[in-house]
Amino acid sequence: MATRRIADEPAFILHSYDWSESSLVLDAFTRHWGRVALVAKGAKKPTSNFRPVLLPLQPLRLGWGLAGEVGQGDIHTLKGAEWAGGHVLPTGDALLAGLYLNELLLRLLAREDPNAPLFDLYAGVVRVLGSGAHGDVLEPVLRSFELLLLRAIGLLPALDVQTLTLAPLQPQARYALIAEMGLSPAAGEDRAALTGAQWQALHQALAQGDGAFAAAVRCVAPLALRLKPQLRQLLQYHCGSPLLRTRQLMIDLQSL
């Protein structure tokens, strides 16, 4: 039977590791096939055409031969890779942020489970990182991506009702997003908690379809620092152990 080939597929490299002395296995996030594993034969050789192209946080066009039935999670053979252009590699804090997003996708997405809207969201965020975003811009961008990622894969509870009781939120009451319980009344002086009105505004922003990311960034901007610990706990809960490597790296750098 002839090997089926995929060509000119929009993709990003999430991670790579050694396959042999000269080859790599790539974890790629693609628009139409989801997260796929690809072996890039000879990619470590100095003369390889793959070597300067297979970089993280760069828009690529990939081609590969299918190793087996679609959806089986097989490792496929990379046949072609080209840089799609558009922006340079992020640096500094933006680079760390991009590697953090890559780790989230690796930990939370099943292989060969397509999600074109999520791919487009990720591509848009990478463009923002490549533009030199830093400081005050990064926080709402990252928090918005985290919210939309959790929503896309069904791990974000509805933000307009209390999760356990489905009771409506009271606009002036304070609520916290708790990993094991969802959106619940805040306990004591929880400084990270948001009001019911703020959670409802986030819920509406995330439901804006193609405009959800821009709407979320605007809504998240004044709330980003309070959302950060709540989303951190929720994401780690669903990622499981160990602690996200990029998060541990950020902690270590801040302690220097």
Share of residues in the chain with pLDDT > 90 (%): 76
Distance between CA atoms of residues 213 and 226, nearest Å:
19
Distance between CA atoms of residues 99 and 58, nearest Å:
12
Q: Do 75 and 174 belong together in one domain?
A: no
DSSP state of 256: -
pTM: 0.91
Query: What pLDDT band is residue 256 in, cutting at 50, 70 and 90?
Result: very low
Residue 59 CB neighbours (<10 A):
17
Query: What pLDDT band is residue 24 in, cutting at 50, 70 and 90?
Result: very high
Angle separating helix axes 224-239 and 138-152, nearest 10 degrees: 40
Q: Do 224 and 163 belong together in one domain?
A: yes
Q: Does the residue 68 lie in any domain? A: yes
Average confidence (pLDDT) over 120-143:
89
Predicted local distance difference test score (pLDDT) of residue 69: 56
Q: Does the residue 42 lie in any domain? A: yes
Q: Indicate the range of 24-33, 42-51, 216-225, 244-253 predicted with least confidence.
A: 244-253
Distance between CA atoms of residues 37 and 130, nearest Å:
25
Q: Does the residue 247 lie in any domain? A: yes
**Which residue, 53, 83, 113, sits at the end of a domain?**
83
Q: Do 152 and 235 belong together in one domain?
A: yes
SS3 state of residue 98: helix
Q: Does the residue 94 lie in any domain? A: no
Q: Does the residue 107 lie in any domain? A: no
Q: Do 159 and 73 belong together in one domain?
A: no
Q: Does the residue 72 lie in any domain? A: yes
Distance between CA atoms of residues 163 and 61, nearest Å:
41
Cβ neighbours for 33, distance < 8 A, ≥ 6 positions apart: 6, 9, 112, 114
Share of residues in the chain with pLDDT > 70 (%): 91
Q: Do 61 and 147 belong together in one domain?
A: no
Predicted local distance difference test score (pLDDT) of residue 67: 66
**Which residue, 57, 83, 109, sits at the end of a domain?**
83
| Nearest of 72, 68, 13, 70 to residue 43 by alpha carbon | 13
Q: Do 249 and 160 belong together in one domain?
A: yes
Distance between CA atoms of residues 113 and 155, nearest Å:
16
Helix count and strand count (H, E) for the chain: 7, 8
Query: What pLDDT band is residue 240 in, cutting at 50, 70 and 90?
Result: confident
SS3 state of residue 229: helix
Distance between CA atoms of residues 189 and 198, nearest Å:
17
Are 195 and 177 in contact by the 8 Å Cβ rule? The answer is no
**What pLDDT digit, counting tens, does each position of 152-185 carry?**
999 999 999 999 999 999 999 999 999 999 999 9
Distance between CA atoms of residues 161 and 142, nearest Å:
24
Per the structure, the complete domain to which residue 156 belongs is given by 135-254
Token code pair at residue 153: 């894969």
Average confidence (pLDDT) over 29-36:
96
Reply yes or no on whether the pLDDT at 128 is more than 70: yes
**What pLDDT digit, counting tens, does each position of 75-109 carry?**
999 999 999 987 778 888 899 999 999 999 999 99
Distance between CA atoms of residues 136 and 146, nearest Å:
16
Query: What pLDDT band is residue 250 in, cutting at 50, 70 and 90?
Result: low
CATH number of the domain that residue 41 is part of:
2.40.50.140
Q: Do 173 and 246 belong together in one domain?
A: yes
Average confidence (pLDDT) over 101-129:
95
Across the chain, what does the average pLDDT equal?
A: 90
Predicted local distance difference test score (pLDDT) of residue 66: 83
Reply yes or no on whether the pLDDT at 40 is more than 60: yes
DSSP 120-132: HHHHHHHHHHHTT
Predicted local distance difference test score (pLDDT) of residue 57: 95
Q: Does the residue 153 lie in any domain? A: yes
Among 35-39, 86-90, 244-248, name the most confident range: 35-39
Binning the chain into helix, strand and coil, the percentages to the nearest 5 are: 40, 25, 40
Are 194 and 226 in contact by the 8 Å Cβ rule? The answer is yes
Reply yes or no on whether the pLDDT at 146 is more than 90: yes
Structural domains in the chain (count): 2
Predicted local distance difference test score (pLDDT) of residue 254: 52
Q: Does the residue 36 lie in any domain? A: yes
Distance between CA atoms of residues 91 and 132, nearest Å:
7
**Which residue, 45, 61, 83, sits at the end of a domain?**
83
Predicted local distance difference test score (pLDDT) of residue 72: 55
Residue 78 CB neighbours (<10 A):
23
